Amino acid sequence: MKTVPAIIEMASDGNYSIYMGADDMDYLVTGTGATSKEAIEDFKKGYEDIKSSYERDGKYFEEIEFEFIYK
């Protein structure tokens, strides 16, 4: 299974955001939260939501693993 970096950054307002560090995928997952833990949970939920959407629409979904990296 492919491993993709998930970049975690803290914004100037103290909130966190996460985005996939791969531009060769058919989809993009992001997440936000008041803490890095909340952002990771939001990110994982977004991944599952996209996966469900692809399956519901009969589209191929490439499952991947994430390596969370603080930037």
Structure-block tokens of residue 45: 């939920």
Tens of pLDDT along 37-70? 999 999 999 999 999 999 999 999 999 999 999 9
Residues 6+ apart with CB under 8 A from 10: 16, 36
Q: How far is 43 from 20, CA to CA, in rounded Å?
A: 9
pTM, 2 dp: 0.93
Q: How far is 53 from 39, CA to CA, in rounded Å?
A: 21
Tens of pLDDT along 1-47? 899 999 999 999 999 999 999 989 999 999 999 999 999 999 999 99
CA separation (Å) from 57 to 50, 52, 53? 11, 9, 6
Count other Cβ atoms within 10 Å, centred on residue 18. Answer: 26
Domains and CATH numbers, the chain: 2-70 (3.30.160)
